[in-house]
Amino acid sequence: MGSRLSKSTVSALLQAILVVLAGIAVISTPVAAESEDNCKEYQAYGGYRDANTSEGSGILIGRSFWCGWPLAAGVGFKTADYEVIVHSCLGKEFCDSVGLESGATYVQVNKDGINGNFKAKGVILEATDKRMKVKHLESGVVYSWVDGKEVKVPSPESPMKITGI
């Protein structure tokens, strides 16, 4: 795949899809990164809050990631025991092969070593080049994070390690 997509390009692609799909979709991917060259990692803080009960995680310190490929991109936030990944795919043939709807937004939440539902549909509530806020369609829990300084030495493992395919 060779070509690199910058964070601003991924962000622009995310915003374009948001507009096309009335603010609820994002370009992202359900596959493992082919190369760290396609991903950027950032120091970040984030967390989650249940809009119905106001219970939440408080502020969590971790890393965020933005990954991009010609047909897809992914964003997420992770700590040692918590991870939220926003993904979608755009190539119909590929989407069909992994059982996903082309252009739909999916939000996977992995917590305490338990992988969340890879095919849980979600909605993006806010997306900028520094901030993401998302939720599952069937839940009142809102997940959000803010990017900080870029991490020049990425994690030894690809940030886009998603289970479920």
* Residue 156: inside a domain: no
Confidence (pTM): 0.72
pLDDT at 25: 29
Distance CA 42, CA 66 (A): 9
Residue 10's Cβ-side half-sphere holds a number of Cα atoms within 13 Å equal to 26
In a domain, 19, yes or no: yes
154 part of a folded domain: no
Q: How many domains does the chain have?
A: 1
The predicted structure's pLDDT at residue 45: 96
Sort residue 140 into left (φ over 0), alpha (ψ -120 to 50) or beta: alpha
Q: Is residue 108 part of a domain?
A: yes
pLDDT, averaged in runs of 10, over the chain (165 residues)? 48 42 30 58 96 93 86 86 89 85 92 92 93 94 95 60 44
Range of the domain at 133: 7-54+61-143
Q: Is the dihedral of CA 100, 107, 134, 14 positive or negative?
A: negative
CA–CA gap between residue 159 and residue 7 (Å, rounded): 14
Are the beta carbons of 71 and 31 closer than 8 angstroms?
no
- Asked if the structure places residue 148 within a domain, the reply is no
